[in-house]
Amino acid sequence: MTARAWVRLPSGRRLDLLSPTPLDWTDEDLATGLARTYRWGGHSIWPGAPLSVAQHSLAVLERRRRSAVLSRPEQLRELLHDAEEGLINFDCISPLKPFLGAGFAELQTRLQMVVTLRYALPPWTIETKRAHKAADVAAAASEAVHVAGWTRAEVRTTLGIRARVDDTDLLAGRYGGEPWKPWPPELAAERFGQALARLMDGGPEETPPATL
């Protein structure tokens, strides 16, 4: 019997995580999944919900928009850089990934491939991948202090993250609200879904100054 790993999504669609296709979920399913998937092992110094991958994804997109002029497909690629985590509902902290083995890495790759096909994402170049990674790591450094409660020294010595810890929350500048406070899942899903729809349907672009 062929192995299957079915999940039933909020829309009622079914996704086989071991054999996914690009048509297995709705955009709302993805937004909800990312909003209900938490970073930092689900730990947070804030009361209420922890930081979601949806909020983190928007933060990385915001950071990249402010550092470079990106096409719509490039912005979409930034927004969806962790999209597979919303389908599997798991954001594994990086040091644990090698212990999960090749099977988990293959699962992630399969999901990343169908996301790329579904949203027609352009391939990474060496330069764009490097710029994305810098933004992703910089977001993580700031989250570590302002959300997860690590000290600035611990970010460098314990976590091994060399990026600067920013005090300014770029998303607070975009959406308002208390800086660095994790959004409730419903709000995170709504904001992620709106950003996704704008980038896909040709709606008005959000274009902050190209500076940090």
| Number of Cα atoms under 13 Å in the Cβ half of residue 148 | 23
Domains and CATH numbers, the chain: 21-201 (1.10.3210.10)
Lookup result for tokens 């919900």: 49
List, for residues 125-150, the tens digit of each pLDDT value.
Answer: 999 999 999 999 999 999 999 999 99
Count Cα atoms within 13 angstroms, Cβ side, for 159: 24
Judge whether 57 and 81 are in contact, CB under 8 Å.
yes
Q: How much of the chain, in percent, has pLDDT values that exceed 70? A: 94
Length of the chain in terms of residues written: 212
Indicate the burial class of 156 (C-beta count within 10 angstroms; 0-12, 13-18, 19 or more): middle
The pLDDT value recorded for residue 2 is 78
Residue 209 pLDDT exceeds 80: no
Phi and psi at residue 116, in whole multiples of 5°?
-60, -45
Phi, psi dihedral angles at 108 (to 5 degrees): -60, -45
- The pLDDT of 150-156, averaged and rounded, is 97
Find the range with the poorest average confidence among 21-35, 53-67, 109-123, 194-208. Answer: 194-208
- Asked if the model's pLDDT at residue 212 lies above 60, the reply is no
> Given pLDDT bands bounded at 50, 70 and 90, which one contains residue 211?
very low
Q: Tell me what pLDDT residue 94 has.
A: 87
Tens digit of each residue's pLDDT (9 = 90 or more) over 55-76: 999 999 999 999 999 999 999 9
What one-letter code names the amino acid at 209?
P
Q: pLDDT-derived band of residue 28, with 50, 70 and 90 as boundaries?
A: very high
Place of tokens 């460098």: 156
Q: What Cα–Cα distance (Å) separates residue 30 from each residue in 24, 65, 169?
A: 10, 22, 24
- Report the pLDDT value the prediction gives residue 29, as an integer from 0 to 100: 98
Which residues does 71 contact at the CB level (< 8 Å), separation at least 6? none
82 — phi, psi (to 5°)? Answer: -115, 25
- 181 has a pLDDT exceeding 50: yes
pLDDT of residue 115: 98
Q: What is the pLDDT of residue 188?
A: 98
Q: Give the model's pLDDT for residue 206.
A: 60
